[in-house]
Amino acid sequence: MGYTAPAWPEPEPLDPLTAPLPRYGTCSLADLLPAVVAGQGVSGPSTSMELTPADRACVFLIDGLGWELLRAHPDEAPFLTSLLDTSCNGTGRPLTAGFPSTTATSLASVGTGLPPGAHGLPGYTCEDPSSGALMNQLRWQPWTDPYAWQPYPTVFQLADAAGVHTCQVSAPHFAQTPLTKIALSGGTFHGRLSGEERMDLAAAQLAAGDRSLVYTYYAEVDGNGHRYGVDSDAWRGQLMYVDRLAQRLAEQLPPRSALYITADHGMIDIPFDPESRIDFDEDWELRAGVRLLGGEGRARHVYAHPGAAGDVLAVWREVVGEQMWVASRDEAIAAGWFGPHIDDRVRGRIGDVVAAAHADMVIIASEREPGESKMVGMHGSMTPVEQLVPLLEVRT
Ligand SMILES: [Zn+2]
């Protein structure tokens, strides 16, 4: 008699509709500046976020400082975590970054006050449908007309035009980048190398107007997280440093000010084993029918050859559907991953298939993305550790 194996339940792919959506319109990064300038009498993109009005407002964005990471490190960040305790006043709360939770997308959301489906930077890399090239949204390679790519005014430009003293204080090499032009310009850009100089100048600029809007930025919490992981002395040292920077700025605030400390995404360390790091360049199944691989390890845009989108979707669901939310372009758009509305010019930038990691894993690409594939800490998807960012507030 033959042996019949007992029926084993078929593993079910994750339903993309169960992915936790960014809270666009109420509690996302894109809502922050519109809510801030509303308190200064400037009308920007609509939001239902409400903040106590302040004549002088400063946004300090700490790249990579997720809400959950911050809450887990009170010893390294005594000042920042002390601001979590004021939640009864509606401050010290989490925002959602937006999808994908990556720097180019989030900085564009902050600066324009719009979700990714409107500003049109839908990932670390995405296809430019007019050329068929994969475009890096941080480095702006290959070059594309920035103002055609993102045509909306920034909230900084709206504030500046309304007579608010407006400026950005960041690293000098960001002064002329396309991302700065289309997301973080309006008023005056001040380049300063050291974190201390940035904090001191941000406070001085805040005092320079009766109404003022100042943006400042620090990158290396994210940089060290990518290189060494968030469970490293290097990352914890950066957190201690940025905690002192934030306190330095808070202590110099002029009267009638609000300082908002936030971030563009969190981060998760990914183990170095083949199950946690599936290599697209070594996986013929995932590559079949694929023309371009965009996005990053935890948030992939997959562009199919003509006619192959259905097959690519089926195979990706089959191969990684238990670890990632795998959606067709139409499903991801209808689910609201990129915001409540997608501009026509943005639709084709989104992959035929979009895959967002739920498990602690990534789709690396060891040949086409050798540097990124070696990173320890990663981000991009919709899990709380990468999606939630702090909104901390200090008032004078
Ligand atoms: Zn990063």
Could you read off the pLDDT of 114-131 as tens digits, one per residue? Answer: 999 999 999 999 999 999
Q: Which has more pLDDT, 87 or 98?
A: 98
- Phi, psi (deg, nearest 5) at residue 339: 125, 175
Distance 66 CA to ligand 1 centre (A): 11
Is residue 8 scored above 90 in pLDDT? no
Distance 9 CA to ligand 1 centre (A): 38
Distance 135 CA to ligand 1 centre (A): 17
Q: What is the pLDDT of residues 279-337, one digit of tens each?
A: 999 999 999 999 999 999 999 999 999 999 999 999 999 999 999 999 999 999 999 99
Is residue 87 scored above 90 in pLDDT? no
Q: What is the pLDDT of residues 241-287, one digit of tens each?
A: 999 999 999 999 999 999 999 999 999 999 999 999 999 999 999 99
Of 251, 263, 256, 264, residue with least CA distance to 39: 256
Distance 306 CA to ligand 1 centre (A): 32
- Residue identified by tokens 């792919």 is 13
Q: Are strands 257-262 and 388-395 parallel, antiparallel or unpaired?
A: antiparallel
- Among residues of the chain, what percentage have pLDDT more than 90? 94
CA distance 217 to 236: 18
Which long-range contacts (C-beta less than 8 Å, at least 24 apart) are formed by 127-135? 127/292, 127/294, 127/301, 127/303, 127/348, 127/349, 127/351, 128/349, 129/348, 129/349, 132/292, 134/292, 134/293, 134/294
Distance 139 CA to ligand 1 centre (A): 13
Distance 264 CA to ligand 1 centre (A): 9
What per-residue confidence (pLDDT) applies to 3?
66
What per-residue confidence (pLDDT) applies to 33?
98
Give mean pLDDT, residues 373-383: 98
What per-residue confidence (pLDDT) applies to 5?
65
Q: What is the pLDDT of residues 354-372, one digit of tens each?
A: 999 999 999 999 999 999 9
Distance 220 CA to ligand 1 centre (A): 9
Residue extents of the structural domains in the chain: 18-120+134-268+383-395, 277-378
Q: How confident is the model at residue 12 (pLDDT cuts 50, 70, 90)?
A: confident
**Exposure of 145 by Cβ count < 10 A (0-12 exposed, 13-18 middle, 19+ buried)?**
exposed
What per-residue confidence (pLDDT) applies to 67?
97
What per-residue confidence (pLDDT) applies to 92?
84
Q: Mean pLDDT in the chain? A: 95
What per-residue confidence (pLDDT) applies to 86?
53
Q: What is the pLDDT of residues 227-246, one digit of tens each?
A: 999 999 999 999 999 999 99
What per-residue confidence (pLDDT) applies to 143?
92
- Among residues of the chain, what percentage have pLDDT more than 70? 96
Domain 277-378 belongs in CATH node 3.40.50.720: no
Q: How confident is the model at residue 109 (pLDDT cuts 50, 70, 90)?
A: very high
Angle at 70 between CA 68 and CA 73, to 5 degrees: 110
β-strand partners of 127: 134
* CATH H-level superfamily of 18-120+134-268+383-395: Alkaline Phosphatase, subunit A (3.40.720.10)
Q: How confident is the model at residue 50 (pLDDT cuts 50, 70, 90)?
A: very high
Distance 4 CA to ligand 1 centre (A): 50
CB 180 within 8 A of CB 171: no
Q: How confident is the model at residue 391 (pLDDT cuts 50, 70, 90)?
A: very high
Helix/strand/coil (H/E/C) assignment for every residue in 158-178:
HHHHCCCEEEEEECHHHCCCH
Compute and round to an integer the Cα radius of gyration of the chain.
21
Distance 51 CA to ligand 1 centre (A): 28
Query: Which pair of structure tokens corresponds to residue 388?
Result: 């939630």
The CA-atom distances, in angstroms, between 18 and each of 219, 244, 331, 381, 383 are 32, 39, 12, 13, 11
What per-residue confidence (pLDDT) applies to 275?
95
Distance 67 CA to ligand 1 centre (A): 15
